[in-house]
Amino acid sequence: MTRLKLGTICVMAIGVVFAIALFGVSGVRAAASVILASALAAANLSLLGRFIGRSAPKKWALVAALSMAGQLIAAFLALKLGLADPLPFVVGCAALPAGLVLGSVLADRLLPPDD
């Protein structure tokens, strides 16, 4: 397992935990909004990581900018079309930094060091 895969799994796991918490507090629509946002964040992380791993460092800024633009457009459409509620969507987006922290801690403890 790679650090990227572990990080992506942790982002989704944190998203599921957040969704379960919001389901208990606010219902199905809030939980679905959290799942949508965390899935969008995890997909963006995975695609960005895979592309950066295969490309030259000179292209990283362009790739990151395009990735950010794509995620903002997808978030705008999800909110504009009424597919997600705004506050739970933001909670789902918070799964990205929380999952990355958890993934980094777990990777340091579970995965062999990179040479």
- Is the overall model pTM greater than 0.75, yes or no? yes
Confidence at residue 51, expressed as pLDDT on a 0 to 100 scale: 84
Which of 25, 43, 44, 40 shows the shortest CA–CA distance to 89?
40
Residue 115 pLDDT = 55
Q: What is the mean pLDDT of the chain?
A: 92
pLDDT value of residue 52: 80
Is pLDDT above 60 for 35?
yes
Q: Sign of dihedral through CA atoms 50, 56, 109, 105?
A: negative
Please say if the pLDDT value at position 17 is more than 70.
yes
- Rounded CA separation 71/65 (Å): 10
76: exposed, middle or buried (C-beta count within 10 Å: 0-12, 13-18, 19+)?
exposed
Kindly report, residue by residue over 40-89, the tens digit of the pLDDT: 999 999 988 888 878 788 888 888 889 889 999 999 999 999 999 999 99
**In contact, 40 and 74? CB cutoff 8 Å:** yes
